[in-house]
Amino acid sequence: MQRIGLYGGSFDPVHLGHLLVAQAAREELQLDRIFFIPAAQSPFKPDAKPTPAAERTKMLRLALAGNSRAEVDEQEIQRGGVSYTIETVRNYARRFPKTKLFYLIGADHVGQLPKWREASELSTLVEFLVIPRPGELKVAIPSPFRGAFLGGFPLGVSSSQIRARVKAGLPVEHLVPSTVAEAIRNNRLYL
């Protein structure tokens, strides 16, 4: 049975923490593939105006270039509007019926799982792989959701920190892939 990881988020911008989490998930769960799924609009950040989708997708493609087990899936961007996990997971369940699906989620969202759109169906379609934040305590995965905590490579870096550093004129070269740092610079993003 094929094992696929789904990694949704704004990726605004994608950074080394995202890439390390994906690598750890692939190794710990022996994932065959992992899909990075940039959101059109996060339901958790309804007032946020993300960087245009084309720029975020371009940075993801640059960051994943040469990685044959990782792909960018633009379905949420193409759907537009608020991106709900259930819609994306249903799509994968239809496309890959004989596959075990894992959805990567930040530890800060675990307690909110029962409030996610169509949570009971979602709990039957995927197992959650929880990404711990350095220095935070583990929170139990609420029933009926299934999953586990990622063990390796948690990195205390966030996209909001990177955006703030760029705005302040500080370097981000060791926080994002060099191709992403160059794209941020060349396109004058986050200023």
* Residue range 126-184, pLDDT digits in tens: 999 998 887 778 889 999 999 999 987 667 788 999 999 999 999 998 899 999 999 99
Domains, the chain, ordered by start: 2-154 (3.40.50.620)
Backbone angles phi, psi at 64, to 5 degrees: -100, 0
pTM over 0.75: yes
Taking each helix axis from N to C terminus, what angle separates 178-186 and 53-64, rounded to the nearest 10 degrees?
A: 150
Mean pLDDT of the chain, nearest integer: 93
**Lookup result for tokens 């039957």:** 124
Tell me the C-alpha distance between 107 and 73, whole Å.
23
Contact 102, 3 (CB under 8 A): yes
